[in-house]
Structure 1
Amino acid sequence: MKFSVIIPIYNSQATIARALDSVINQTYKDFEIILVDDGSSDNTNQVIKMFFKNKDIAHKYIYQENSGVSIARNRGIKETVGEYIAFLDSDDMWHPQKLEIVSNILSNDSINIIGHGYTLDNNFSNVYKTFDLTKVSFSRLLIKNFAVTPSIVVKKDVCERFNENMRYTEDHELWLRMAIANELYFCNLPLSVIGRKPLSKGGLSADRWAMRKGELQMYKNIVCYKKSLLPLYPFLVIFSLFKYVRNILKDFFAKN
């Protein structure tokens, strides 16, 4: 079972070596690394060259003009040769057992897509021997994104492409599209360290209204793919707007 690890990068000289270390130090070794540089203007390229110098690690480095993370990830998917695709961001890391645990789960041929938990603590001191695996229903996924992108692993044969016209919630939209024809599973172990908490200041998701518009577009797209959801569409819109107002109010009262 070979994994293709896709890492989009943009001005990542300060974090990319740490991310790559977390891949090459995996206990499971059958993988390739696909790095798609989305127009970096810093020394990211040189850091990557130095990292792989004298290392016998299967990898590809691809440079493109700045086009956005969805286009970068799609380019990476196109270049893969592995049976399974795993996503990692340049400021995130994996637990050393991530691919080992995931490969054991995927040995069940009926499982095509899994995600797992994450942590903000980069001290991976635990050795994991057991875990809980649960099926994620489509209705649950409609309400909440079940996993961050650096936790997703998907069989290449069923992997669809990110919507390149979406800048927000493009990951959630992709999981929903794939969930129409595939069952999704969630492993409760925190096998990824993410560089910042979702919706925290500094990330794309920090722009709450833009995020909400992205979610509304996501629901519109999914209704087009799955016509049976059309009666639910007004309720999904109301639910999304309710979350936006609730979060605004929470922020207001937290400051006062």
Structure 2
Amino acid sequence: MKISCVIPLYHAEKYIVETLDSLMAQSYALDEILVVDDCGQDRSAELVQAYSMRHPVVRLIRQPSNQGGSAARNRGLHEARNTWLLMMDADDTVHPNLLERQIELLRQAEAIKPSPVCVHSAYLQTDADGQVLENSEYRGMQLPFNETFGSLLVRNYIITPSGLLLNRDAALEIGGYRTNIFISEDAEFILRLARKGSFIYLDEPYVYFRRHAMSITSDLNKASQAGQAILDIYSIDEIKKAVFERGYSEQKNRLDFITLLYQYQRYTEGFAALEQITEEEFLHSKYFLQAVFYQERQQWNEASLLLDRLISQNHNHGAALNNRAVLYAYSGDSKAAMELWEKAIALFPGYMDATDNLKVWKSGVGDYRFTKRELRKNLLRYS
């Protein structure tokens, strides 16, 4: 099986050679590496051109003008000569055995129906220098076809195009990447792909996702807006059907659907639905979401009572700690606020809301920020 690789290139002169080196070091050799230059102003294309002289498997493709990452990926989809493509960003790297293990899993999955359309792995997050960040492992899960779309709607665990082994025909059949979405366009693409065929998961952190100042998702507000834009593509009824098709309990599916209602700003509807959450294992989530409802309505006393109740039962609920700290800050209890923010950051390194709020408290400049969703076990890093 021959594999192509597609890399959109834009202002990545600090990282592109390291990315190419990690691809050249694959134990299962790539047949071709297509680097699509999106007309940046740095030396990225020059470096790739020089690299290709030493490694003919690398080919530089130049876009006629700057058109964005989606257009660059689509160009690679069309020009690749093989059915299976390894997608990469120009600043990430991969483990030497990534491709070998992905192909092994793909061959084992030949009988799965519908046919697999991609293979993705777990991740490790690194800093700008490529050093692995502590507690940064980020894992996905193997899901049956009929549960994948709904699960990705609730929480996308494919956090980067890098390391995604993709069926070219399936990608082209769904129209490739949409060029009118400029942030989280890969997440929107993944949602459409999830309805086309099966996803295969490699439970090894073989993709190294680099976090640095130029990372497009470093702007949390834009990322949040992009997530909302993706949800707006689908109707509430469509989303509800997909969420409840998953093989979880009725209460788990209902709770996850309520979190999506909140993302649609349908707080009153979601709050009313929380009355149906009665099982003990979901009560902490219920209290948290009820508190979010009151925060949105600026009913600070009601929110505080719920957060106090939650924290008394779960001392390590990071989002509750952050939100209660904000309410302490609003009431003038700076000492209590600082203690809760510091505890939240200690529990969840990289917790941006708590980190930024602590900076606002110390400087007196800026606005405090509530967290509206419960935290993942390991957070995506934005610094």
> Under a length normalisation based on structure 2, what TM-score does the superposition of the two structures give?
0.57
1:134 aligned residue (127, 130, 142): 142
1:216 aligned residue (185, 207, 228): 228
Shift of 1:74: 1.1
Alignment match, 1:151: 163
Q: Give the SS at the match of 1:191.
A: strand
1:116 aligned residue (118, 121, 130): 121
Alignment of 1:103-252 (within 5 A): 103-107=103-107, 108-109=109-110, 110=112, 111-121=116-126, 122=130, 134-135=142-143, 137-147=148-158, 148-159=160-171, 160=174, 161-196=176-211, 201-223=213-235, 228-229=238-239, 236-239=260-263, 250-251=353-354, 252=356
CA contact (8 A) 2:105 2:200 kept: no
Q: Give the SS at the match of 1:149.
A: coil
CA distance in 2, matches of 1:184, 1:150: 15
Alignment match, 1:129: none
Shift of 1:6: 0.7
- The structure, 1 or 2, with the larger RCO (C-alpha pairs under 8 Å, 6+ apart) is 1
Shift of 1:207: 2.2
* More displaced 10-residue stretch of structure 1: 104-113 or 65-74: 104-113
CA contact (8 A) 1:73 1:162 kept: yes
Alignment match, 1:2: 2
Q: Give the SS at the match of 1:150.
A: coil
- Higher-helix-fraction structure: 2
Shift of 1:229: 3.0
CA contact (8 A) 2:71 2:177 kept: yes
Shift of 1:176: 0.8
| AA partner of residue 114 (structure 1) | V
- Runs of 5+ consecutive residues of structure 1 not aligned to the other structure: 125-131
* More displaced 10-residue stretch of structure 1: 6-15 or 215-224: 215-224
Shift of 1:44: 1.9
* Aligned CA distance change for structure 1 residues 186 and 212 (closer, same or farther; 3 Å): same
- Runs of 5+ consecutive residues of structure 2 not aligned to the other structure: 133-139, 244-256, 268-288, 297-318, 327-352, 362-383
Alignment match, 2:339: none
Shift of 1:123: 6.8
Shift of 1:190: 1.1
RMSD between aligned residues:
3.1
Larger Rg: 2
Shift of 1:96: 0.6
> Under a length normalisation based on structure 1, what TM-score does the superposition of the two structures give?
0.82
